[in-house]
Copies of this chain bind each other. A is one copy, B any other.
């Protein structure tokens, strides 16, 4: 009952965590390649190399797996962006480029993640709310970053224009990234990053200029 014996030198709690991680990794694979509709308990456990019984040890439904997969990728993404921005020189364009490059490199190195972040959340009702939260969080992050360059006073002046511009930039980045992964943009990844940075700066300057005038 109060079990918890070590197995193969690994304590019980850690084994649980490993199994959960294996399920999430398998979930990324299935959702990222076949879509959330194909995510079944049996298929997930088979790919994770685990018994079906262990599914219910960590999750109550496949929707929970979906959420965990998304959270996993988003945590990786925000971490990559934050460290990249911190390491970049104190310059608007340099900061923007660092953030965009970090995001694009992470997501295009593994197009399963592109799909999980940009496509699936819109489909699965379970992720709709989370997707909205994430979008708001990124918008807030962009707006916050912008304030560092244009001065905190701009915040008041920018107002809803800032939210609009941030959402616009987020959407543009998402669409161009998925189009590029799909092979519809005949440019290199570095060009993709450069142009995304260009438009980020252009939109940002227009927003600040318009809102403060």
Contacts and interface: CB of A to CB of B under 8 A. Distances in A.
A196 B165 CA distance: 9
Interface in A25-48: 34-37
A27 to B, nearest CB: 16
Given A122-B122, A176-B167, A160 B186 contact: yes
Given A163-B185, A172-B172, A123 B119 contact: yes
Interface residues of A, number: 45
A124 B123 contact: yes
A170 B175 contact: yes
Interface of A: 34-37, 118-120, 122-125, 132, 135-136, 160-161, 163-165, 167-176, 179, 182, 184-187, 191-192, 195-196, 198-199, 202-203, 206, 210
5 tightest Cβ-Cβ pairs between the two chains A and B: A123-B123, A171-B175, A168-B172, A119-B122, A171-B171
